[in-house]
Structure 1
Amino acid sequence: MFKSIQYILVIILMGIGLAAQAQRDTLTQEVEVTKAYKPTLSDANKLNSMPTIDETEHQKPTFNYTINSQPVFSSFSVNPLKAAIIETQAPQDNGYGLVRAGLGTTFRPYGEVFFNNVNSKNSLFGIHAMHLSSFDKIELEGGDKVDAPFMKNEVDLFVKHLFRDNVLSVNIDFKHDAFNYYGYPLVAVPDPLLENNQDINYFDTKQSFAKGGINIGLKNPTAEYDDATIGFNFIYHYFGTKTDQREHYANFIMDVQQPMITGVGLLEGGILYTQASDIFLQADSAIGNRSQIIIHAKPAWFIGDETANLKLGVNTWFAMVSDEDAVAKLSPNIRANWTPVPELISLYAGIDGKYISNHYSKIAYENPFTDPEHDVMNAFQKFRFYGGFDGKLSKKTNFKVSAEYSITDNQPFYYLSESLYFDPDYNPAPLVTDNTFKVLYDNTNRLKLNAELFHASTDKLELTASVNYYNYKLDEQEEAWNLPTWDATLNIGYKVNEQLSLSADIFLMGERKALVIQQPDPRNLTAVALPPTYKSNNLDAAFDLNLKGNYQLTNKFAVFGQLNNFGFQKYQRWFGYPVQSFNMLAGISYSF
């Protein structure tokens, strides 16, 4: 049923990098705060109860349709390992915050501020703000050198308060991303698109995303598997674009855990509401608004203990979408866990599924170069069969190996549309490709194999590696467009001495296939009945190496440097959109 599995030999690294002083705080039941600016591999092995903030934006490939991509640059995080916690050095108090500022090649200003207030024994308050921008030009495959500026701004405010055994958290955030639709595939940009104020498509058009939101949550982080607990999470955001699309998003989820005579009863329930405006509705072939309400309930029964347990449940959804028929969906929710050797190895297996809301901002961040008037149908993962094992190879080394097979209906895939442009000034009519992506759908079966490793050698060295292999089977499409057959990452942090810290990141992505659909020539009367022509294009494997270094001048001041895309490869993040090649960033930081 599948093609033969390709063997992947990847990740050979000798390099240096920045082990920066990124800061977040660790909140325990006594609200003990750790504020040391230490090199971190974010969420690699659940060392932190609160997430770490990357100090600078990395240039990393993301193509899996599920990670939130950023314009021009994107973020990538290794899947968290579920092995036992590794001991680290004792916490240190390094003050209230950190200020970083720098400048890079192609006029790349960067600034970032972290601040935490820990005066209260029961509360934690923090602020994070960041700016990064670039005004570089990029050479396309066809030879044109185009403007590819980007700007990224973030402001985050978080408050956590402990009362009894519960933690109430409030996060308020604002993000602003600006960029150009600068890409064009394969050939030189046609002359009509180079004219001033052309309105044929979005080539060289400026775009920006702005999103502000709030997240309120309540949970008991110390609860055991058989404790009675109740918690909730509420998220709201408002999203807008320069091209006048708007979205309201609200999601409320409640979790209940209640011991019973036999076993424990579990219930997750919630409601999701989204509304997007000024988008092209596929059902009506007109500009309008799209709203959806998705109600879900996931009851389950848990039996067993920490050594061996079983969860038996069902996932249910009822979706009402304004431009689709109302639907009810159902999937199993079964998982078995067994720990034959506590703290050394754990095995798990299960079956579940999920209803996937492809709301406006999700698609916008997933592929920022999608047509801004997009209206993407929701997908439904009917079944996901998964299993694996994780544990410790040694006191300092964690690992995870897993496999999953999923069956999904209405999986969206991105493609570019191509057609003849008719104008008396251009004879013959040139073939013009839209440089914003449209969406088609197919039912997909996917096999995913994953292996991850985390190693910490005293307080000097940390290493995280992850490798994924994918195999797709589709009903209609020849390829899983834009999706790789494998990807891999390697992150290394090394503390040379008390002053100098180094780190390096390697990101690899396998070859992909990109789709261009050429529309028939309308001048040919017989062409009306002919189908469009599908053109498959190869995207080479991507290799990205980032090297970073940090040198502590005094207890307060440090200097840092970063080399991005040190492999000098202009791989394409999306078809026709190459990333910036080698660039540098350097600056100074001050802790207070």
Structure 2
Amino acid sequence: MKKSFQYHIAGLAILLAAGQQAYAQQDSTRLKQEVEVVKAYQPSISDAFKINDLPQIKDEKKDKPTFNYIINSQPVFSTFEVKPVQAAQMVGEPKAELGKGLLKAGVGNYLTPYGELFYNTKAGKNSVFGLHFRHLSSNGNVKLINDDKVDAPRSENVAELFTKHFFRRSTLSTKLFFDRQAHSYYGYAGERRSDEAKEDDFPYWNDKQAFSKGGIQLNLSNEEDTRANLNYDFGLNYHYFGTKTGQTENKATVGSLLQKDFDTFQGLLNASVGFVRTDSILNQTTGNFGHKQQILLNISPAILLEGDVASLKAGINTFTLFDDDDDARVLITPNILAQWSPVKDNLTLYAGANGRMEQNNYSAIAAENRFVTPTQDIRKTEYQYILTGGIKGKFHPRLNYRFQVDYANIKDEHFYIFNTNNFLMDAPTSPLPPRANTFDVVYDDLKQLSLGAELYYTASDLVNFHLQGTYYSYELDSLEEAWHKPDFELTLSTIINPEGPLKFNADIFFKGERKALEQSESFYLASSAIGPHDVDQTVHTLASYIDMNVGVEYQYSSNLSFFGRLNNFAFQQYENWLGYSQQSFNLLVGASFSF
């Protein structure tokens, strides 16, 4: 029996060796295939808002690459106009012991202190935990277009706690967050005025405003489980938003994305329910000072067919909006995307049709334009259809490209204007009242054509360049101009990482001319009734500008580095919003320490 057992073991070893040799031969054929994944370039800026040396916890799992060819640039207008850095994202369980934290601190002109802390650690065998804190403030003066120097304080404070727990076939992510941004209404349009005149004329002159936002995000998904017959991604987002002037907002969204494989296609289902309630605003429907409450339901089924050189996604998007002050609104749009690659990796042609309904909550508008009049009641926006077409691929192994055209039919797009209402006791011959220094929101139906191009060239492993630009054309239903919207935007970025301790990056941003409207409405009181009504309008042209920025980082040791950032070093004076100039040349220097 012992000899029989030995014979079985010897035979099994021979079979395993033969199988391993056959598998190795098969695998060697596979290894000869070359796979190259090209992602949309995302420039890294080594300053207070773009952290190059952020420690990350990397996962052994591999994400399927996603391709997004939409241009979404964010100019580095000044220290405060850079898109804020996100919290450290921990992607799965670590496979090696990494540094746990990063501390950054710096100071700049305009009396600008800066500090930021990231901390990541394993909370258990299957869990990771992280913290992120940030402070940045500025207390200097800004020179307006009319040469008036005004105080323009601003501050940003962020606190975030995030975790990930890994189950056998799914991942649960949580994030608790709080951020507070404060500023003053320091700008105004027109000729220069004395401080006394500004306080008398402008209802919000130099008033302080603060936006506070806190909430929780939960996400449960098994999208990386290739063995699952059904992939899912469930999410819950809630935030509470409040302002110093008394406006509050509660917003909650529950959504899911399901993907199931069938014999010849994949089935997709995207569904969500969103609830938002805003208080202490001027309700546009009732005309009363009170609240607004809405529920948005989205159900979007689709199928996906994929071949060797072509793919087709076909479905519909359905949106239903329930408003306490209005009738329910239903929007149905196509959800189609076709792609064909006649030359694999080098040329892909694509075309599609889509649409959506945006629940324009108050906090989103305040984040876009922080100088908006606090009592605004924000309407929804309907993208009734968006037609897209373009090509993407490579001209050369180091040169990627994308050319895209979009045509959208939009209902109730929002625009910003300077506007104020005044009641006068005198006769209509009295002088018109002064303008406000905050923005009202107006709406119009819009047909928008955009032509976009993007080039990414990797000159070497140490140098790369990124160029992207978009041209816009607007056709409005009733407004004279697409107020504050540019006709052209261009961004050029480069990153240089030579061998050695120094790293460099530079950005050039160009924005074309924009039209802005300054409007004053006067109502005259006659006895107990409102008499004649006058409207005075002034159209301003916000000049085009070029904003140039450069950054440098010096790696002194494996744990300590020093950084510097020069923003707007061409000393350009320009406005993103009428009456509100941006900071001119600003400098930020500091150090970072990893541990």
Q: Equivalent residue of 1:325, what SS?
A: strand
Q: Which of the numbers 60, 65, 71 marks the counterpart of 2:77?
A: 60
Q: What TM-score do the two structures reach when normalised by structure 1?
A: 0.82
Q: Equivalent residue of 1:465, what SS?
A: strand
Correspondence for 2:8: none
> Partner amino acid for 1:162?
F
The yes-or-no answer on 1:162 pairing with 2:143 is: no
Correspondence for 1:256: 258
The yes-or-no answer on 1:25 pairing with 2:56 is: yes
The yes-or-no answer on 1:123 pairing with 2:127 is: yes
Q: Which of the numbers 435, 445, 448 marks the counterpart of 1:446?
A: 448
1:424-479 Cα offsets, whole Å, 9 max, x none, are 9xx97574111111111111000111111223344412322210110000111121
Correspondence for 2:555: 552
The yes-or-no answer on 1:110 pairing with 2:136 is: no
Q: Which of the numbers 163, 175, 197 marks the counterpart of 1:171?
A: 175
CA pair 154-205 structure 1, distance change in 2 beyond 3 A: same
Give the Cα separation in 2 of the matches to 1:341 and 1:75.
Answer: 37
Q: Which has the higher helix share?
A: 2
Correspondence for 1:460: 462
1:106-130 Cα offsets, whole Å, 9 max, x none, are 2100011122214756433222211
Unmatched 5+ stretches in structure 2: 1-44, 69-73, 86-94
Correspondence for 1:53: none
Instruction: Report if aligned partners of 2:424, 2:522 keep a CA contact under 8 Å in 1.
Output: no
Task: Write the mapping of 1:54-453 to structure 2, written as runs, cut at 5 A.
Answer: 59-60=76-77, 73-75=81-83, 95-118=99-122, 122-189=126-193, 193-195=197-199, 201-222=203-224, 228-305=230-307, 307-418=309-420, 431-453=433-455
CA pair 180-74 structure 1, distance change in 2 beyond 3 A: farther
1:469-500 Cα offsets, whole Å, 9 max, x none, are 10000111121110000111122111233211
CA pair 133-379 structure 1, distance change in 2 beyond 3 A: same
CA pair 115-417 structure 1, distance change in 2 beyond 3 A: same
Instruction: Report if aligned partners of 1:461, 1:495 keep a CA contact under 8 Å in 2.
Output: yes
1:552-592 Cα offsets, whole Å, 9 max, x none, are 11222111111111121121010000001111111111111
CA pair 308-403 structure 1, distance change in 2 beyond 3 A: same
The yes-or-no answer on 1:591 pairing with 2:577 is: no
> Partner amino acid for 1:388?
G
Correspondence for 1:477: 479
Q: Which is worse superposed, 212-221 or 444-453?
A: 212-221
By relative contact order (CA 8 Å, sep 6+), the higher-ranking structure is 1
The percent of aligned pairs where both chains have the same amino acid is 34
Stretches of 4+ moved more than 6 A in 1? 16-19, 43-46
Give the Cα separation in 2 of the matches to 1:572 and 1:536.
Answer: 15
CA pair 357-222 structure 1, distance change in 2 beyond 3 A: same
Correspondence for 2:574: 571
> Partner amino acid for 2:363?
S
Using the TM superposition, give the Cα deviation of residue 215 of structure 1 relative to its aligned residue in structure 2, in angstroms: 1.2
Give the Cα separation in 2 of the matches to 1:149 and 1:520.
Answer: 32
Matched residue pairs, number?
532
RMSD across aligned C-alpha pairs, in angstroms? 3.2
Give the Cα separation in 1 of the matches to 2:66 and 2:506.
Answer: 15
Using the TM superposition, give the Cα deviation of residue 201 of structure 1 relative to its aligned residue in structure 2, in angstroms: 1.2
Rg larger in structure: 2
CA pair 200-517 structure 1, distance change in 2 beyond 3 A: closer
Give the Cα separation in 2 of the matches to 1:339 and 1:467.
Answer: 24
Give the Cα separation in 1 of the matches to 2:337 and 2:443.
Answer: 30
Using the TM superposition, give the Cα deviation of residue 311 of structure 1 relative to its aligned residue in structure 2, in angstroms: 1.6
Instruction: Report if aligned partners of 1:58, 1:546 keep a CA contact under 8 Å in 2.
Output: no
Using the TM superposition, give the Cα deviation of residue 387 of structure 1 relative to its aligned residue in structure 2, in angstroms: 1.4
Instruction: Report if aligned partners of 1:142, 1:189 keep a CA contact under 8 Å in 2.
Output: no
Give the Cα separation in 1 of the matches to 2:467 and 2:160.
Answer: 29
Q: Which is worse superposed, 357-366 or 217-226?
A: 217-226
1:378-421 Cα offsets, whole Å, 9 max, x none, are 11110100012222333333222211100011111111125678
Using the TM superposition, give the Cα deviation of residue 328 of structure 1 relative to its aligned residue in structure 2, in angstroms: 1.3
Instruction: Report if aligned partners of 1:29, 1:162 keep a CA contact under 8 Å in 2.
Output: no
Give the Cα separation in 1 of the matches to 2:192 and 2:136.
Answer: 30
CA pair 342-396 structure 1, distance change in 2 beyond 3 A: same
Give the Cα separation in 2 of the matches to 1:225 and 1:210.
Answer: 43
Unmatched 5+ stretches in structure 1: 1-15, 33-42, 47-56, 62-69, 78-90
Instruction: Report if aligned partners of 2:525, 2:531 keep a CA contact under 8 Å in 1.
Output: no
Correspondence for 2:564: 561
Give the Cα separation in 1 of the matches to 2:510 and 2:84.
Answer: 11
Instruction: Report if aligned partners of 1:403, 1:449 keep a CA contact under 8 Å in 2.
Output: yes
Q: Equivalent residue of 2:565, what SS?
A: strand
> Partner amino acid for 1:131?
H
Q: Equivalent residue of 2:553, what SS?
A: strand
CA pair 343-162 structure 1, distance change in 2 beyond 3 A: farther
Using the TM superposition, give the Cα deviation of residue 237 of structure 1 relative to its aligned residue in structure 2, in angstroms: 0.7
Instruction: Report if aligned partners of 1:379, 1:410 keep a CA contact under 8 Å in 2.
Output: yes
> Partner amino acid for 2:535?
P
Give the Cα separation in 1 of the matches to 2:336 and 2:494.
Answer: 36
> Partner amino acid for 2:146?
G
Give the Cα separation in 1 of the matches to 2:316 and 2:371.
Answer: 37
Correspondence for 1:580: 583
Give the Cα separation in 2 of the matches to 1:58 and 1:385.
Answer: 27
Give the Cα separation in 2 of the matches to 1:544 and 1:93.
Answer: 41
> Partner amino acid for 1:23?
L
1:502-556 Cα offsets, whole Å, 9 max, x none, are 111211111000011232463799x956663432210001321221111111222
Give the Cα separation in 2 of the matches to 1:26 and 1:338.
Answer: 36
Give the Cα separation in 2 of the matches to 1:268 and 1:587.
Answer: 45
Q: Equivalent residue of 1:142, what SS?
A: coil
Instruction: Report if aligned partners of 2:521, 2:533 keep a CA contact under 8 Å in 1.
Output: no
Using the TM superposition, give the Cα deviation of residue 94 of structure 1 relative to its aligned residue in structure 2, in angstroms: 5.6
Using the TM superposition, give the Cα deviation of residue 29 of structure 1 relative to its aligned residue in structure 2, in angstroms: 4.9
Give the Cα separation in 2 of the matches to 1:456 and 1:354.
Answer: 36
Give the Cα separation in 1 of the matches to 2:481 and 2:67.
Answer: 34
CA pair 200-584 structure 1, distance change in 2 beyond 3 A: closer
Give the Cα separation in 2 of the matches to 1:225 and 1:275.
Answer: 41
> Partner amino acid for 1:60?
F
Correspondence for 1:39: none
Give the Cα separation in 2 of the matches to 1:225 and 1:381.
Answer: 37
Instruction: Report if aligned partners of 1:134, 1:149 keep a CA contact under 8 Å in 2.
Output: yes
CA pair 395-219 structure 1, distance change in 2 beyond 3 A: farther
Q: Equivalent residue of 1:522, what SS?
A: strand
CA pair 466-92 structure 1, distance change in 2 beyond 3 A: farther
